[in-house]
Structure 1
Amino acid sequence: MSRIQIERAISQQQQEELGIPRWPIWEKAISTFPWTYDSSETCYLSAGEVIVTPKGGEPVTISAGDLATFPAGMSCTWQITADLKKHYFFD
């Protein structure tokens, strides 16, 4: 199975080129929950921090300013450590 791909601290120009400001927004307070991706998701964290642990994999920390892509079919646990706000796009 594919891994989480992360691009750290993307620029405002990159955000505009990807259309991130027009993507929907999702917000969530500090919490922990399981999640499975039915389709590939790309998200940009505009605030907060989360530790995502794929089933059978190593934890990955994603912070404000990071762009992350999650593969379809991945099951994981989300541990939000600081209130989260993200723009997201499903493929």
Structure 2
Amino acid sequence: MSQIIIDHNPSQEKLQELGVSSWSIWDCAPSKFPLDFGMTEKAYVLEGEFTVTPQGGETVTIKAGDYVEFPKGLKTQWEVIKQLKKHYKHF
């Protein structure tokens, strides 16, 4: 089973190499919802905090400043705790 990859303190070099600043931005108010990934998603959290619980897996907490990768095919349950704003790109 593919896992969520989280880098809690990515370097500016890594973010520039990935071109994160040119990625789309997604905003989400505090809420709970299921989210299934039809494609791999890479994201960098600008603001907020949320938890992601993969089907059959452990809940992870993701916060502002974290870089995260969600693998294709992952089925998850999200809880946005604080207003979320993130850069993201699908692959």
Same fold (TM over 0.5): yes
The letter for the 2-side match of 1:29 is A
Q: Distance in 1 between matches of 2:7 and 2:42?
A: 11
Given the two structures, how large is their TM-score scaled by the length of structure 1? Answer: 0.96
Q: Distance in 1 between matches of 2:64 and 2:12?
A: 13
Q: Distance in 1 between matches of 2:75 and 2:63?
A: 20
Q: Distance in 2 between matches of 1:47 and 1:11?
A: 17
The letter for the 2-side match of 1:68 is V
Tell me the SS of whatever aligns to 2:21.
helix
Q: Find the counterpart in structure 1 of residue 28 from structure 2.
A: 28
Tell me the SS of whatever aligns to 1:26.
strand
Tell me the SS of whatever aligns to 1:17.
helix
Q: Find the counterpart in structure 2 of residue 7 from structure 1.
A: 7
Indicate the larger mover: 52-61 or 2-11. 2-11
The letter for the 2-side match of 1:30 is P
Q: Distance in 2 between matches of 1:14 and 1:2?
A: 22
Gaps of 5+ in 2: none
| Count of residue pairs the alignment pairs up | 91
Q: How far does the alpha carbon of each residue in 1:28-54 deviate from its partner, in whole angstroms, 9 at most, with x for none?
A: 000000010001000000100110000
Deviation at 1:13, TM superposition (A): 2.8
Given the two structures, how large is their TM-score scaled by the length of structure 2? Answer: 0.96
Gaps of 5+ in 1: none
Q: How far does the alpha carbon of each residue in 1:30-81 deviate from its partner, in whole angstroms, 9 at most, with x for none?
A: 0000010001000000100110000110000011000000011110001000
The letter for the 1-side match of 2:70 is F
Q: Distance in 1 between matches of 2:32 and 2:62?
A: 14
What is the root-mean-square deviation in Å for CA atoms of aligned residues? 0.8
Report percent identity of matched pairs: 45
Deviation at 1:15, TM superposition (A): 1.6
